[in-house]
Amino acid sequence: MAANWKMHKSSQEAKNTFKELVESVGALPSDREVAIFPTFTSLAACQELLTEGYFLGGQNFYPADKGAYTGEISASMLKDLGCTMVLVGHSERRSIFDEDHEFLAKKAAVAIENGLFTVFCVGESLEERQKGKLAQVLKKQLSALPEKIAGLADKFCVAYEPVWAIGTGEVAGKNEIIEAHGMLRAFLKEIYGPSAEKVRILYGGSVNPDNVQEIINLDNVNGVLVGGASLNADSFKKIVLA
C-alpha cells in the first residue's frame, strides 16, 4: 500500500502524518507492506519513524552518480536518507516534466542497479483509451524496463495508473482494471517468463477508503498507489488495513 504525497506537506506535517499512521495502524497484518513517498525535504524526518513493514521512497531522482546537475539528487542520495524505493514513470513526470521513454528506461535501469525498489508507473490517457490504444500504450511503456533483471519480484513492481483517473475522483471500473492488469501480467511474462507471476502490480487513480476493498480483491491487483487519500493518516490507515 503506497502513499504518494506529491508536493504536499512541510517536514513537520509529513512527520506528524507518518507518526499518526504508524500508531493508529498498530501491528501490520502479515500480508501488508506500506511505502511512503514524501517530498525530498521530508525524507529525513520520516526516516526517523521507519519501523517494520514500512518503507521510504523518493518520488524522483536523476540517473547519474553525481556531477553538475543543478537541482537534482541521485539514487545514492536517496539511499543516504533511508530510501529503499523510488517512483519512476509517474504520469505527472511524463506530462509536466516531459520525461520520455528513453529517459525513463535509463532511470529504471539506474534505480534497479542501485538497489532501489522501483515502482514503475504506466497508464494511458483518455484519448489513447478512446482510440483503442490501451494494449499498445501499456506494452510500449513497460518495454522501458530493463530486459534482464535477476530476482525480478524484489527489484520492481508496476503501478497501473490510468491518467484520466489520477486526482479526478473518477476511479477506473472493475472491468477496466481487470483488463489492464491482465494485459500487464501477460506482457511481463512475455518479457521475463513465468517468474513475472510474482511481480506486484499496483492500481492507482482515485483510490479511497470506500473503493479500496473492491479494487484489491480483483485479479492481478497486488496493492494500490494512493495520492489524495493518503495525505490524511486516518484515511490512509483505512486503506492500509482494507
Which sequence positions are flagged as catalytic? 90, 161
User: Which residue type sits at 214?
Assistant: E
Toward ligand PGA, which CB reaches closer, 180 or 226? 226
Touching ligand PGA, residues 118-177 (CB under 6 A): 161, 166-167
Smallest gap from residue 121 Cβ to ligand PGA (A):
7
209 interacts with ligand PGA by CB under 6 A: no
59 interacts with ligand PGA by CB under 6 A: no
Smallest gap from residue 6 Cβ to ligand PGA (A):
7
4 interacts with ligand PGA by CB under 6 A: yes
Smallest gap from residue 76 Cβ to ligand PGA (A):
25
Among 56, 196, 199, 226, binds ligand PGA (CB under 6 A): 226
| 139: exposed, middle or buried (Cβ count in 10 Å: 0-12, 13-18, 19+) | middle
Toward ligand PGA, which CB reaches closer, 57 or 228? 228
Chain residues in the site for ligand PGA (CB under 6 A): 4, 161, 166-167, 204-207, 225-229
